Structure 1
Amino acid sequence: MSARVMIVEDEVIAAMATEKMLRKLGYEVCGNVTSGEEALALSEALCPDIVIMDIRLDGQLDGIDTSLKIKELCEAEVVFVSAYCDDKTRSRAQAANPRAFVSKPLDIYQLKSILGDSPVACH
């Protein structure tokens, strides 16, 4: 069974590119949303294995707050992908115990390195 990945990204073109890369690597994309609120609802319903999370999102919640709440709902691993890589943001993000924190733009080689070669479900 391949790992199910949810993308939380408010830039539609970036989200589409990430989805294409994930599918090429053999991952199942179980959701693609633009806000923290949508991510929480989808996480509760689907419990993804991995969440590719932007920091700045549409809606009231940012990616860090959303990740903390998702981890209360299920055991998803979080990969932060953001243009905001300052020390304060990185420090806040560490509270979510992410699998990785990478700068935009994301590429397929970074994804493969972070996620590994075999897209096997985490749980």
Structure 2
Amino acid sequence: MIVEDEVIAAMATERMLKKLGFEVCGNVTSGEEALETMDEECPDLVIMDIRLDGELDGIETSMLMKQNRDVPVIFVTAYSDDSTVSRASAAKPLAFINKPLDITLLQKVLSGITAGGN
């Protein structure tokens, strides 16, 4: 599942994932939508922007998701200041990738996950 408030970035991420052989079960723009979709679609992995539409940011959304189901999250963001990285680390993401998202780096991160049995 992709959680990204920038529609063009979400579409590009979806294209990259499909090119790498992954299926995208949902593409939403807010934390609230992500929590709803999580229950309906049951994704194996979430690619999450930190800044989102709505009241919840990606870090808060990730923590709420993990209360119900420990789904792996990869944060993708343009904000990599120390405060944001520290907050994001508390959510225990699988990875933290800076934007713009690069297919080679995404493939490397995802191959590490799938090689680990997830």
The TM-score with structure 1 as length reference comes to 0.90
Q: Which amino acid aligns with 1:25?
A: L
**1:105 pairs with one of 100, 105, 114:** 100
Report deviation, 1:20: 0.2
Q: Which amino acid aligns with 2:77?
A: S
- Aligned 1:1-123 pairs, distance under 5 A: 6-116=1-111, 122=118
Q: Which amino acid aligns with 1:52?
A: I
Would you tell me which structure has more strand in proportion to its own residues?
A: 1
Tell me the distance in 2 between the aligned counterparts of 1:26 and 1:110. 15
State the Cα deviation string for residues 32-53 of structure 1 (Å, max 9, x = none). 0000000000112222111000
Deviation above 6 Å: which 4+ runs of structure 1? Answer: none
Report deviation, 1:96: 0.9
Identity %: 63
Would you tell me which structure has more helix in proportion to its own residues?
A: 2
Report deviation, 1:107: 1.1
CA RMSD of aligned residues (A): 1.6
- Structure 2: gaps (5+ residues): none
CA contact (8 A) 1:9 1:34 kept: yes
Report deviation, 1:117: 7.3
Q: Which amino acid aligns with 1:90?
A: V
The TM-score with structure 2 as length reference comes to 0.93
- Structure 1: gaps (5+ residues): 1-5
